[in-house]
Amino acid sequence: MSSQRIRVWFRKGDRVRYISHLDVLRFWERAIRRAELPLSYSQGFTPHPKLAFASPLPVGFTAEREVMDVTLDERVPIDEFARRLRVESTEDLAVVAVEEVALNAPPPQAAMLWADYSMAMPGLQPAEAEAAIQQFNQRETIPWREERGERIREYDLRTATAWLRWRPADGGVVLSMRMQADQLLTARPEAIAAALFPGQECGPIIRDGIVLDERSQARELWRRYGQYQ
């Protein structure tokens, strides 16, 4: 019977940018087993580990703060859990932080609201970036259309972007942005580059963080009573 749920924040480095989400899941399952942590499995003929992630990171992206919920059959002190899992992680799939969450809390993908990204734009001049972002911010709507195979998506790129900034970098600039990533829409950062700087080369994309909906009953109980119910 499931007894505890721990939220693990982890990074995905450059050397593993091209491994799939399924490969990441398998890595963490093996790491948890090597750490001899009491991982819970689903019932039935083909049990699956109770690991829950946010929206899968696209292949080719790196990440500074991805999220994974781990459900355990027995309670483990949070510091001991972190210590044992860190021993079995690697430099490119590394534990950043851990916290306990309620067993009945929404899974990360259901609670996900926004994702933060940064993207290098080599050769782009600061003045160009500043002018384009100012124009972007002044627009009320920016209709956007994406085609992926036979699938077509149309949405408002402006409202799907909470904020957009730039900073100087060697040989160009770096764009940073917060984009919608909830149950209704997952906007892609490449759309920003294509909309503002068509034809401009963009460098590797980093998902810097994930914003989850913190307005849950479980967290209110924690704030009031200092424990999860």
pLDDT at 174: 97
| Statement: residue 225 has pLDDT above 90 | no
Give the other-Cβ count within 10 Å of 170's Cβ.
7
pLDDT at 224: 53
Any domain includes 217: no
| Statement: residue 208 has pLDDT above 60 | yes
Query: Which tokens hold the place of 25?
Result: 């899941």
Residues 86 and 160 in one domain: no
Q: Which of 144, 65, 124, 135 has the alpha carbon at shortest distance from 99? A: 65
Residues 139 and 174 in one domain: yes
| Cβ-Cβ contacts under 8 Å for 13 (sequence gap 6 or more) | 62, 91, 92, 93, 94
Residues 188 and 95 in one domain: no
CB 30 within 8 Å of CB 46: no
Would you place residue 229 in the very low, low, confident or very high pLDDT band (cuts 50, 70, 90)? very low
Residues 135 and 96 in one domain: no
Which one is predicted more confidently, 223 or 37? 37
Average pLDDT rounded to a whole number, residues 49-55: 95
Residues 48 and 115 in one domain: no
pLDDT at 34: 98
| Statement: residue 169 has pLDDT above 70 | yes
Share of the chain above pLDDT 70, in %: 93
Any domain includes 225: no
As beta bridge partners, residue 70 has 6, 51
| Number of separate domains in the chain | 2
Residue type, 117: Y
CB 193 within 8 Å of CB 173: no
As beta bridge partners, residue 206 has 62, 118
- CATH no. for residue 130? 3.30.70
pLDDT at 227: 47
Distance of alpha carbon 12 from its chain centroid, rounded?
A: 10
Lowest mean pLDDT among 41-45, 50-54, 67-71, 127-131: 41-45
pLDDT at 43: 87
CA 94, 96, 98: angle at the middle one, nearest 5?
115
- CATH no. for residue 71? 3.30.70.580
Any domain includes 224: no
Q: Mark which of 106, 128, 161 sits at the end of a domain.
A: 106
The boundaries of the domain holding residue 189 are 111-211
Residues 99 and 119 in one domain: no
What does pTM read for this prediction?
A: 0.88
pLDDT at 25: 97
Would you place residue 11 in the very low, low, confident or very high pLDDT band (cuts 50, 70, 90)? very high
Q: Mark which of 70, 91, 106 sits at the end of a domain.
A: 106
Give the C-alpha separation, 188 to 181, whole Å: 9
Q: Which of 95, 84, 89, 90 has the alpha carbon at shortest distance from 38? A: 84
Mean of per-residue pLDDT scores for the chain: 92
Residues 102 and 170 in one domain: no
Phi/psi for 211 (5° steps) reads -105, 120
Instruction: State the residue for tokens 């483990």.
Output: 76
pLDDT at 195: 94
Any domain includes 46: yes
Rg of the chain's alpha carbons, rounded to an integer?
20
Helix (H, G, I), strand (E, B) or coil at 30: helix
